[in-house]
Amino acid sequence: MQYTNDKSATNLSRKRGSSPRGTNTISKHAICVFVCDLSFVSPMITKKLSLLPDEPGIYLFYHDKELIYVGKATSLKSRVKSYFQGQKSPRPIEEMIFLVNDIKWIETDSVLEAIILEANYIKKFQPKYNVLGKDDKSWNYIVITNEKIPRVLTRREHELKTSETSKTSTQQDKFKYTFGPYPNLKTKETMKILQRLFRFCTCNGKHKTCLYQQMEQCLGVNLGKVSIAEYKRKSIKPLIMFLQGNKKSVLRNFEKQMQLAAKNQNFEEAAIIRNQLGNLQRIQDVVLLNEDFVCDANLRMTCESTNGETNAHCSLFTVHSTHLRIEGYDISNLGESDKVGSMVVFDAHGPIKSDYKKFKIRTVAGQSDVDCLAEVLGRRLKHGEWTMPDVFLVDGGLPQLNRAKKIIDDRNLKTPIVGIAKGPDRKKNEFFVAHSTTEFKAWFEQNKNLLIRVRDEAHRFAIAYQRQTRKLK
């Protein structure tokens, strides 16, 4: 996320070029002198600065008990202290920072919760310097439509105003719930996390298939998998409570639902809710931190039957694939010339095209897809700055898999590797796996369609690049 830069301070003597009483114009030189010289900070503020935690949350700036600014931070300690260092921008709160004579803060479990809490404070208190510094184009809202199957969308403030005043507004344009404002919100990343947490539908209209539903990250209301009433109860209502700042209530409700599902021996549903609980308790920052392929004891659940005895058939495992990263590789050539390789990247929601890479083969003479693949993988693994995947996937059978395994083994990596061949008659897919574990096998069996989609995209991307190189000649 991009966070608003907010700074704290205390009373400033009206010396050093500060403005006369009754005006809001202050010498930029005076501000810089104040900000760079900690001798102007009161002992109370200095003490509070030393107590700031290195945790996400919101900070509150007060002038004579009036809340004049609220901001969010990944690290309260770093953000608030930064107000006393370096040049300042012309934003209203920075030009009037000398008014701040008290600082308070509220820690949150995640940056996402800090964003929500900041929005609730802005909406409730309308702090002066949040409002003065606002730009209609930069203030975002999350809305829930008033349709039969509610949709979750994002809107900018000027879009909300247009929808409210337009005489041609349709039912889709009318919103039952509006949450915000969220200053400088990265809407795409935020919506991805919320969708993963609450499994709301992102489709518009009826569909025959849904990748998110296959990943157990959508209830499938548009597919008829659940009723509209059940969808609202399981997805929309918890989302509303969360955006209202009632995370604890959401967790309690999920715990009750999980226990009820286990009691009724609906162990698959219990496992899904259990994973939702875990995700909510450990929300990843909106910057989408990379996460290893997680397979630990926390992902196992032993259910008890209604008589209290442990049921051996209730041991459930579901791979935590919320932030799973898959890299897919393919080679394309035209005989012995124009050899190229592709790398595509997927998460559980689909392609991450900004991370795609193209490789022009440099060292392989003749026609050998296996040797070309080895070159591509070797070059890729030299880039330590690229996020490492949780699964490597190659287009091909055992020859490609074995060569990929050798390259990866040489780097002392144990990342799972999947090869997909089209089979002797090229009408079915044959899967080959290396570096597998019991946990990975369980995930693999449930996600073959996703892996095929990665393979097909790597193939498409490689062919497109090869055609591009031929055109350039």
Query: What does the pLDDT read at residue 32?
Result: 35
Other Cβ atoms within 10 Å of 341 Cβ, number:
27
**pLDDT computed for residue 233 by the predictor:** 92
CATH entry, 28-130, from 3.40.50.20, 3.40.50.2000, 3.40.228.10, 3.40.1440.10: 3.40.1440.10
Query: Do 28-130 and 326-472 come out as alike in CATH topology?
Result: no
Q: What is the pLDDT of residue 27?
A: 34
pLDDT for the residue numbered 85: 61
Convert the chain into a string of H (helix), E (strand) and C (coil). CCCCCCCCCCCCCCCCCCCCCCCCCCCHHHHHHHHHCHHHCCHHHHHHHHHCCCCCEEEEEEECCEEEEEEEECCHHHHHHHHHCCCCCCCHHHHCHHHCCEEEEEECCCHHHHHHHHHHHHHHHCCHHHHHCCCCCCEEEEEEECCCCCCEEEEEHHHHHHHHHCCCCCHHHCEEEEEEEEECCCHHHHHHHHHHHHCCCCCCCCCCCCHHHHCCCCCCHHHCCCCHHHHHHHHHHHHHHHHCCCHHHHHHHHHHHHHHHHHCCCHHHHHHHHHHHHHHHCCCCCCCCCCCCECCHHHEECCECCCCCECHHHCEECCECCCCCEEEEEEEEECCEEEEEEEEEEECCEECHHHCEEEECCCCCCCCHHHHHHHHHHHHHCCCCCCCCCEEEEECCHHHHHHHHHHHHHCCCCCCEEEEECCCCCCCCEEEEECCCHHHHHHHHHCHHHHHHHHHHHHHHHHHHHHHHHHHC
Residues contacting 208, CB < 8 A, separation 6+: 223
Show me where the domains of the chain are located. 28-130, 134-243, 246-323, 326-472
Contact 327, 389 (CB under 8 A): yes
Q: Which fold has domain 326-472?
A: Nucleotidyltransferase; domain 5 (3.30.420)
- Local mean pLDDT, 10-residue blocks, the chain (473 residues): 32 33 34 41 81 90 91 84 63 69 90 88 88 64 91 86 59 76 80 86 71 75 87 93 90 90 86 82 48 28 32 32 78 82 86 91 89 95 85 94 94 91 75 87 82 92 88 65
What pLDDT shows up at residue 457? 93
Give the pLDDT of residue 398. Answer: 94
| pTM summary value | 0.49
The whole-number pLDDT of residue 400 equals 95
For residue 447, the model assigns a pLDDT of: 81
